[in-house]
Amino acid sequence: MASDSPVAQLRRRPQLSEEVAAILRHQIMTAGLLPGAPIRMDETAVELGVSVTPVREALLTLRGEGMVESAPHRGYVVAALSRTDVEDIFWLQGEAAAKIARRTAGLIDDDGLAALADANDRLRRALDARDVPGITDAEFAFHRTHNRISESHKLAWFLLSATRYTPHQMYAADPAWGEVALDSHERLIEAYRAGDAEAAAAAIRLQFDDGARRLITHLDTTAIWAPQAH
């Protein structure tokens, strides 16, 4: 696989069970693994170049999230994922992000605005270079910077937990998504400069709404909604 692939990244980083769970979660959310498909621990371990132990731990994590189910004599199978599930995931993310944005509007100062602008410039450079891992990292860094300014520590943690279901690499490889992300960030920064909390909430919500549309459009091209996939 390419050096910037999820598997290559996995081999360079600790906490393998979390990384395995992230890869499987991405495959499930993008229909790389369809509902009802078996996930065999031995085969998955070989494919990812890890031992069976982190795969087993990852599947236990995903079972707790409702992403996979334990089936008698079949091990684990991918759980159903409906269009409503996808819409709900992004609705939850958007609601949390909008609330954080409203709080940030009352707290952000010139240093915070400069930090957000710098983070957005980093994303722009990664997009110009078509550096998919760099795009993913820069997008995460922008929102991490933003959420820290809000001082909404618990809500930011819940938002981070919810975004684990976002197929970040799929978006990072899509130049059209990158344009929307940059525009959303710029609108957000301008709203803060104007002291407009509602405009800030709308700007950040735009990105989550766009993400939901893009993922559903992608899933519509797969067999995930087909009756036999459930």
Give 217-222's long-range contacts (Cβ < 8 A, gap of 24+). 218/30, 218/31, 218/170, 219/30, 219/31, 219/83, 219/86, 222/31, 222/34
Q: Is the pLDDT of residue 13 over 70?
A: no
Same fold, 6-81 and 83-220: no
What would the pLDDT profile of 37-83 be if each residue is shown by its tens digit? 999 999 999 999 999 999 999 999 999 999 999 987 778 999 999 99
How distant, in Å, are the alpha carbons of 50, 53, 132, 193 from that of 46?
Answer: 6, 12, 25, 51
Please choose, from the candidates 113, 107, 97, 109, the residue with its C-alpha nearest in 3D space to the C-alpha of residue 190: 113
What is residue 22's predicted lDDT score, i.e. its pLDDT? 94
What would the pLDDT profile of 197-210 be if each residue is shown by its tens digit? 999 999 999 999 99
- Higher-confidence position of 206 and 8: 206
Q: Which CATH number fits domain 83-220: 1.20.120.530, 3.90.1150.10, 3.40.50.620, 3.40.1000.10?
A: 1.20.120.530
What kind and span of H or E run contains 78?
Answer: strand 75-78
Band of pLDDT at residue 12, cut at 50, 70 and 90: very low
Q: Is the pLDDT of residue 2 over 90?
A: no
pTM above 0.85, yes or no: yes
Q: Report the CATH fold assignment for 6-81.
A: Arc Repressor Mutant, subunit A (1.10.10)
Q: Where are the domains positioned within the chain?
A: 6-81, 83-220
What would the pLDDT profile of 139-160 be if each residue is shown by its tens digit? 999 999 999 999 999 999 999 9
Give the residue-averaged pLDDT of 21-36.
96
